[in-house]
Structure 1
Amino acid sequence: MSDHDQSLWRKTCQEHVESTSLSADLTVDLAVIGGGYTGCAAALTAARAGASVCLLEAQEIGHGGSGRNVGLVNAGLWLPPEDIRGYLGANAGDRLIDLLAAAPSAVFDLINQHGIACDPVRKGTLHCAHSTAGSRNLQTRYAQLTASGAPVKLLSAEQARQRTGSAAFHEALFDPRAGTIQPLAYVRGLARCATEVGAQVFTNSPVQSLKHTAGVWELKTSSGTIRAKSVMQATNAYHQHLQASAPAYVPVYYFQYSTGPLSDNLRASLLPGGEGAWDTGLIMTSFRMDSQGRLIIGAMGDLGHVGSGSHSAWIRRMMTALYPQLADQALVEGWHGRIAMTSDHLPKITRIGPNALSVHGFSGRGIGPGTVFGRMMAESLLANDPALLPVPIVSSHRESWAGLRRAYFETGAALTHLIKARF
């Protein structure tokens, strides 16, 4: 595992789940492939409902995007409400908007109910306008969100300065429904809770083949076979093997760096209200504080790419542009993760066979939507009722020119970080 796979979250995680590799044959009601937010939420839901559940993770819980996440628990998707309705239609769109408006509450309720030690802070988030075009974007989002009943507030430049501690922004959109968590601790907490109510969780157990025969699914690993009535695949952007059911997406990389714990006076000058934040740039930047007073700042880009040096230099410039008082602070941790992006930025649920569903494509909004989708997909599979799903099933999903588009995003990020000074 490379250094850039070793996130700060691994070093500060207070949650642990007991697991071993699969070493025997089992028969269960539901087999879940993937130990991220979606898969762990599904396993917890099904086990609480009394079903026999087995979760198979190829690496360790939270190995993929769930353990490399920024940790912003947002309401909704990247898309504004009218775009969601445009893609799904009014009824299905309104239903998804309402479900995901409540997603932060679903996350924080689980944390409180099960005592998940993931540093939950529900002080809202700030979407910050980095330009006049960014202000227009926020004004459009504000109008659509308020029309949909969201309790968001549009903040002036001065209000944004007071809330962020930075004079860099033209406006900010505040969403009080949202918050921040330690993302790896949250997903490991979900897995722990699932085992406590009877789910069996196996790590370092990649599924090598998946087939349906005689009315039952067989999931083979190198050291055991699971027979299941139903299957849920939640591998997202960290899919291994199983090419027949591999999700189609555009891989987009996102990296983060953190400072060490800051002094009390520096902490007080950065995001004093405790919100998490990100900007409106096409090559987006996020910034937040953790429970130990570290600033965590990130942007689009792959630290394993040839342009990684430009990313590292850019993030230091960005940090000091936002917060000049941090000019002498070192960036001591750096890591990256992979996002599964879809062309329309909507998650996709596909049918991979009888009583078997796959989900992917949260496009960087994995915590809230992943938790909700995992719960509802488990409920749907156990009841054999597609009406319980958060979005309609699609028969298949394809992405054109995924490799070229991945290169476009990474090259754009590298060039932006190399030559452009946003502030």
Structure 2
Amino acid sequence: MATERPLPNLWHATAPAAPKTAPLTGAVTTEVAIVGGGFTGLSAALHLAEMGVKATVIEARMIGFGGSGRNVGLVNAGMWVKPHDLIATLGAAAGNRLLDELGEGPSFVYELVAKHGIECEAVRNGTLHMAVGDEGLKEIEEREAQWQKRGAPVEVLSAEKAQALSGAAGFTGALLDRRAGTIQPLAYAHGLARAALAAGAEIFTDTPLLAAERKGDLWKLKAGQGTVTARHVILATNAYGGVVADVPWKEYRQELTILPFFQMATNPLPEKVAARILPQRQGAWDTGLVMTSFRMDRQNRLIFGSIGRLDALAASTHRAFAARSVRRLFPYIGDFRFEYWWDGRIGMTTNNLPAMHVLAPNVVTVSGYNGRGIAPGTVFGRALARYVTGDSSAIPLAESPITADPWRNLKSAFYHVGAQAKHFIDRRF
């Protein structure tokens, strides 16, 4: 589990205000009830409303409370599973379709940003997958070869070019993916919500789903202080599904292993320093076993992230590791301090790919983005909207049964403790 206590989150400090919403207090009848106010749920609501279908979002906390408000903000193409491995898992037809749709995912995100005038610090100059050592270089070379066969504009950069484009020392190369980019993720979620409301959707915040009951061909959801009666239900909670209480399809919670991830943001850096770190403002992450990420925001803050949870025991270890890492990567940075820090959950599946389930009659979900929430969440939100309105082929995944992972709690604990142990010793010398 990720930290639930309030932490100083940069995205909350810099995002434009969310549209005005309120808790549900009465009875609502709708065509589609959407549980979860993140990228997937908001995209589904927007596209349903644009089709003239009444859609109602119920969010247990606030818009973007979960992964959408804690995301690194990298708008990546595809999944992190290599194309050949993805096809080997899903088969040629399904695998190629998923790769095509998610490969175009960043374009779809930036089209929505432009169409709806979403102020979210959108930059589309690509992302950099930084290679750690010879093994890391081999990995990104394999990714380059596989994506280039599909016509993707990806390119492996030499160590020298990687350092020039990232400003970071010590990497053996980088894979530049020109399809991708960065956004302020919570600002994007707020923008999707505003667009959905303008199109006619309803959004109720501070409205947790408490129970669900099937009555005839309708679902009656007890939510907050009210009820929602709907023909269809889209479950869009992903790694934050633990907030859902007594529902007849609650076994879906057992599929995802939770990978904790934290981020820390510096004070605004001096212009001369900021100009050297990711001068074209790509976002970056590395091939390390315990992955790290870094990017800049519009205020010239450096945002550094890695695996781990900022609980009372681990926070100081992760903070010290982040400070050492920043100085190692950017030895010219000078004095800096972390002004913001926050953590979140990544929902991991056993095959590292998303899954689509029909949990009950007219109850559908897609979850397990495995660290790639922005573009896949937006794409699958649109697909779910089309699916519940009658297009049974809209979702680029085959329906599958829930496959509970009996080791999920143990693996989650291992990620937490293992990352803390590695960060305690890493980059000290």
Please classify the TM superposition score into its range, dividing by the shorter chain length: over 0.9
Task: Tell me the secondary structure at the aligned position of residue 275 of structure 2.
Answer: helix
Which of residues 223, 238, 241 in structure 1 aligns to 2:240? 238
| 1:273 partnered with 2:280 | yes
Give a deviation string over 1:63-105, Cα, whole Å, max 9, x none: 0010000000000101010111011100000000000010000
CA apart distance, 1:5 = 3.6
Give a deviation string over 1:26-65, Cα, whole Å, max 9, x none: 1111110000100000000000000011000000000001
CA apart distance, 1:219 = 0.8
CA apart distance, 1:395 = 2.2
Alignment of 1:182-197 (within 5 A): 182-197=184-199
Alignment of 1:12-23 (within 5 A): 12-23=14-25
Indicate the larger mover: 344-353 or 104-113: 344-353
Task: Tell me the secondary structure at the aligned position of residue 111 of structure 2.
Answer: helix
Distance 1:124-1:15 versus aligned 2 partners, 3 A rule: farther
- 2:269 maps to a residue whose letter is L
**Which residue pairs with 1:201 in the alignment?**
203
**Which residue pairs with 2:260 in the alignment?**
253
**Which residue pairs with 2:394 in the alignment?**
388
Indicate the larger mover: 163-172 or 194-203: 163-172
**Which residue pairs with 2:159 in the alignment?**
157
The alignment covers a number of residue pairs equal to: 422
Which of residues 104, 107, 124 in structure 2 aligns to 1:105? 107
Task: Tell me the secondary structure at the aligned position of residue 118 of structure 2.
Answer: coil
Indicate the larger mover: 296-305 or 244-253: 244-253
**Which residue pairs with 2:176 in the alignment?**
174
* Gap regions ≥5 residues in structure 2: none
Task: Tell me the secondary structure at the aligned position of residue 328 of structure 1.
Answer: coil
Give a deviation string over 1:229-257, Cα, whole Å, max 9, x none: 11100111112114633432101110000
Whether the 8 Å CA contact 2:257–2:408 is kept in 1: the answer is yes
CA apart distance, 1:396 = 1.6
Runs of 4+ more than 4 Å apart: 1-4
CA distance in 1, matches of 2:246, 2:37: 16
| 1:115 partnered with 2:117 | yes
CA apart distance, 1:222 = 3.6
CA RMSD of aligned residues (A): 1.4
Which of residues 326, 330, 334 in structure 2 aligns to 1:323? 330
CA apart distance, 1:327 = 4.2
- 2:392 maps to a residue whose letter is P
CA apart distance, 1:403 = 0.7
Task: Tell me the secondary structure at the aligned position of residue 226 of structure 1.
Answer: strand
**Which residue pairs with 1:224 in the alignment?**
226
CA distance in 2, matches of 1:293, 1:11: 14
**Which residue pairs with 1:140 in the alignment?**
142
| 1:300 partnered with 2:307 | yes
- 2:418 maps to a residue whose letter is G
Instruction: Give the TM-score normalised by structure 2.
Output: 0.96
- 1:257 maps to a residue whose letter is M
Distance 1:82-1:389 versus aligned 2 partners, 3 A rule: same
**Which residue pairs with 1:417 in the alignment?**
423
Task: Tell me the secondary structure at the aligned position of residue 340 of structure 1.
Answer: strand
* Gap regions ≥5 residues in structure 1: none
Distance 1:36-1:222 versus aligned 2 partners, 3 A rule: closer
Whether the 8 Å CA contact 2:238–2:367 is kept in 1: the answer is yes
**Which residue pairs with 1:368 in the alignment?**
375
Which of residues 32, 35, 39 in structure 1 aligns to 2:34? 32
Whether the 8 Å CA contact 1:3–1:335 is kept in 2: the answer is no
Indicate the larger mover: 18-27 or 99-108: 18-27
Task: Tell me the secondary structure at the aligned position of residue 269 of structure 1.
Answer: coil
CA apart distance, 1:400 = 2.5
Whether the 8 Å CA contact 2:64–2:189 is kept in 1: the answer is yes
- 1:379 maps to a residue whose letter is R
Whether the 8 Å CA contact 2:285–2:293 is kept in 1: the answer is yes
Task: Tell me the secondary structure at the aligned position of residue 154 of structure 1.
Answer: strand
- Percent identity reads 43
Indicate the larger mover: 45-54 or 321-330: 321-330
CA distance in 2, matches of 1:186, 1:88: 31
